[in-house]
Structure 1
Amino acid sequence: MKRSTGELGLGLAITKRLTQLLQGTVELKSEPGEGSEFIVKIPVRKVKSTTEEPASLPIPRVDLKGKKVLLVDDESSQLALSKELIKSIGLQCDTAPNGKEALTKLNQNQYHLILTDIQMPIMDGFGLVEAIRKNPKIAHIPVIAISGRTNVPAEKYNEAGFSGNILKPYKPSDLLYRISEILKIELESKQNYSRRYTTELSHYSLEEISLFAGDDQVALDTILTAFIESTRLNLKEMDLAAEEGNWDRTGNIAHRMLPMFKQLKVKEIVPKLQQLEEKQTAEFENGKMKNLLAEIEQFLLQLETEVKA
């Protein structure tokens, strides 16, 4: 407020009184012949706007040293597939073929994440997560269900105590995203998970499998070898179950085999395994199962030529 000459009037008196009520001060600067200047100072506090957006903090990089994942699956080729991918980002990885052995390892080691299949012998995935949540020492560990069962809604997994679920067959990016989400890991954007593997044989493809191995031919050979060996064991079990007329057992084996056959895009065999899984067994009875077993064995012989080691 400034006034050069003459009477100040009521304005200054009112200003002074209001300033005092607000715990402020009035200062005077005056020079002869130049007039007077009054400076009003009122203490105020700056309040943040309620519409202000909070600053987004970048996800910190996490040191993967010591971070360990437990993979649980009764299908050895599926274990090899996932294990190679997990190792490729620097995580340690242990495996178990069923829930019972997984619990033994959980009591012996420390894990930061558990990835488990659902349909397994001895103890399935639901039994495993129930046992984990009841044990105070390991109840905090996140557990992700990885299953080929399409008839189980996500809500059922959540209600059972899982931290999430992934449907088989899955892409490498699906698994890596879920792992990074759970462990709060910022993955290197330059990592190569988009390699394309081509083959002249049109009835199957190594494209998706090669994504799990990246540019590592040894890793790809490991995955394929594990698949070939486990499939031959499955064929023996399936042959025996079919001879005994145990179509429930045959369907369970087909269910176990399907994810890898889907990832390999074996066009002629996948529909037949799906029929067995769904207990549509009419065309496989009366000894016709042998035709499917022979077809799968022929495919395995062709796949063996892809293994470089």
Structure 2
Amino acid sequence: MPFELPEYLQPFLLPLLIAVPLAVLIWIITVRRGDHRDLGVPPPPVRPHPDGMRTPAAAPRAAAPVRPAAVPVSTDPADRLPLLLVDDSAVVRAKLLKLFTDAGYEAQTAKDGTEALELMSKTRFGVLLTDLEMPNMDGFELIKSVQGSMETEDLPIIAITGHEELHARLHQIQGLYGMFHKPWNDRELLKRVDTLSTMRRVQA
């Protein structure tokens, strides 16, 4: 039995048959054109293009993780531990003291190993510079005593000597951070002490 539309709906049949396909067609064209205004959807933001074209704005990039700032290491000699300069010659002690105080270091002097150990019992030093041939306690005994004590075993030691025949004995000593001949090169000696005192400062 064929379906018959009620008479009161028949006047609306033709307009519906025309309007519905037309609305669908308009919706398809609108979507393909990207015209979002007719659909009630806000368009994506745009930004100027170098060629004058309008292109959608790129999504914001995620912020890079913040790394903790490195702790700065002071290079100012005044911020470092004092130096201990040991030599039985008053002239040598005066030259070493002037060299390092002019460079901004604090320094103390001792005339032999015994006096040096007494100073180390009261003060923590950054670098020890010692002669080898001295009365009472020579440089070899001083180095052995410093390296054998838990309080001073990590103290960097530089040996200074004017005797070539002592070099063979020096090479037998473990843990020396430098050996300089008299007369020494001021620039090279300062450079070595700068490096060691900075290392000592970081370890502290």
Question: Which category of TM-score, normalised to the shorter sequence, fits these structures?
Answer: 0.5 to 0.7
Letter in 1 for 2:153: A
- What is the Cα deviation at residue 62 of structure 1? 2.2
Aligned position for 1:72: 86
Aligned-residue offset at 1:89: 1.3
**Alpha-carbon deviation of 1:157?**
4.1
Q: Offset of 1:169 from its aligned partner? A: 0.6
Q: Which residue of 1 aligns with 2:158?
A: 144
Q: Which has the larger radius of gyration?
A: 2
TM-score when normalising by structure 2: 0.58
- Cα 1:83–1:157, aligned 2, differ >3 Å: closer, same or farther? farther
CA–CA separation in structure 1 for the residues paired with 2:163 and 2:196:
22
**Is the Cα–Cα contact under 8 Å of residues 145 and 157 in structure 1 kept in the other structure?**
no
Change in Cα spacing, 1:155 to 1:181, as seen in structure 2 (3 Å) is: farther
- Match for 2:75 among 59, 62, 65? 62
Preserved CA contact (<8 Å) 2:80 2:197: no
Query: Taking structure 1 as reference, are residues 155 and 126 closer, same or farther at Cα in structure 2, changes over 3 Å only?
Result: closer
Deviation at 1:155, TM superposition (A): 7.7
List runs of 5+ in structure 2 lacking aligned partners. 1-31, 33-71, 200-204
Q: Secondary structure at the match of 1:95?
A: strand
Q: Answer 1 or 2: which has greater helix percent.
A: 1
Query: 1:174, 1:152 → 2: CA distance?
Result: 21
Could you tell me the TM-score, scaled by structure 1's length? 0.39
Return the offset for 1:90. Answer: 1.1
What's the offset of the Cα at 1:158? 6.0
Aligned residue in 1 for 2:144: 130
Instruction: Give the 5 Å matches for 1:24-173.
Output: 60-63=73-76, 64-153=78-167, 156-157=170-171, 159-173=173-187
CA offsets, 1:119-161, max 9 Å, x none? 0000111100100011101111111001111123378346244
Structure-to-structure mapping, 1:226-265, within 5 angstroms: none
Is contact 2:156-2:177 (8 Å) kept? yes
What SS is found at the alignment partner of 1:82?
helix
- Distance of 1:108 and 1:114 partners within structure 2: 14
**Runs in 1 of length 4+ with deviation above 6 angstroms?**
none
Aligned length: 131
Give the Cα–Cα distance (whole angstroms) in 2 for the partners of residues 128 and 161 of structure 1: 13
Distance change in 2, residues 1:74/1:184 (3 Å): same
Provide structure 1 residue ranges, at least 5 long, that are not aligned to the other structure.
1-31, 33-58, 186-309
Give the partner amino acid of 2:147: R
Please report how far the alpha carbon of residue 91 of structure 1 lies from its aligned counterpart in structure 2 after TM superposition: 0.8
Write out per-residue CA displacement over residues 266-289 of structure 1, whole angstroms, 9 at most, x where no aligned residue. Answer: xxxxxxxxxxxxxxxxxxxxxxxx
Q: Which amino acid aligns with 1:78?
A: V
RMSD of aligned Cα (Å): 2.6
